[in-house]
Structure formats: C-alpha cells, structure tokens
Structure 1
Amino acid sequence: MAESSEEHSNRLDQMFRKYNPFAAKPNSINSNKHFDVHPPVFWVASFLAVLFIAITIIIGGDYMYNNIFEPLKNGISNTGGWFFVL
C-alpha cells in the first residue's frame, strides 16, 4: 500500500532532522520557519560583515584598494595560487 503524502512528508522530516542537528524540532516555536539559524555562527558572521563594510566606508575606496586589497590579492596570488591547482 502506498503511503500518503503526509506520511511521506513526515518521514522526510525525520530523516532530515536525523542528519541536521540544528533543524527545528517538531511542534516548537521555530518549526514553521523556512530556514534554521545557528546563533553563534550567525552573530559572528554578521558582526564581521558589518565591521568589514564599516571599515571600507570609513577609510575609503582608493586607500583600501591601493594599500590593503591589492597587496592582499598579490600576496594570495603569489604564495597561495598553487592551492587552486589542487
């Protein structure tokens, strides 16, 4: 006998939660959200992104490019370019 779509959906949810420890638990406050957020990772990544954007805006584009981004790009290209070959 074929399983109903609800049974199939429940089985898929159980399999997903087995392999994703950060998934919202059934019947929890977060169970109807479209995605789950791992708070320590989210807040650290958000802080670093906002900090990077703020520093770039405050210091300015030309200064950042000539004194930070270009030497960083050249350093990565010269010393770490072999990594992309792997």
Structure 2
Amino acid sequence: MMFWGLGGIILLKLVYPYLSKWIEKIPYQFGKKVTTFLLVFILFDSVITFSAEFRQSQRDRGIPATNLVAQLLDYYFPNDVLDKIFQNVKAVND
C-alpha cells in the first residue's frame, strides 16, 4: 500500500504539471471533438462487452439465440474467445 501512495505523490508532483501544460495546448475545438469521439467509443465498447458477457451467461444456461444480435454475439464472441479476454471472470449463481 505504501508503494501506491508514494507512486501517487510522485505522479502528482512530477508528472501532472507537465501533462497539464501539454493538455492546455490542445485547441478547444479539437479537444472537444476528440473527447466526444472517445466518449462514444467507450460507450460502444461498454455496450458490446456487457452484451457479450450477458449472452455468454445465457449460453451457459442453455438459452438459444433467438434474434440476429444474439446470433452475431454467438458468432463473434464465443465462450472460448471471452474466456481468453476475461480470464479472471467467475460465474456466480443467481
């Protein structure tokens, strides 16, 4: 725990001032566009991740894919792919 506290202090005292000055140099309109793009990307990624994990739990319970989205999730995110991506995920009983 002491390591992370020391790391946080070093980050705030040494790295943050330079990073803050660099960020302030970014033009406002460009920064707004980049921020919007990153927000949309993270939301899209979160929805896909949640959907793939939810579909995996349905597959584990034996629920078949009844629509196109579920079929696409089964095709692109089968259990072996999700197990490689999320190695530490453990199923819990409802």
Say which structure, 1 or 2, has more relative contact order (CA 8 Å, 6+ apart). 2
Larger radius of gyration: 1
Q: Same fold (TM over 0.5)?
A: no
Provide the TM-score with structure 1 as the length reference.
0.40
TM-score (normalised: structure 2): 0.37
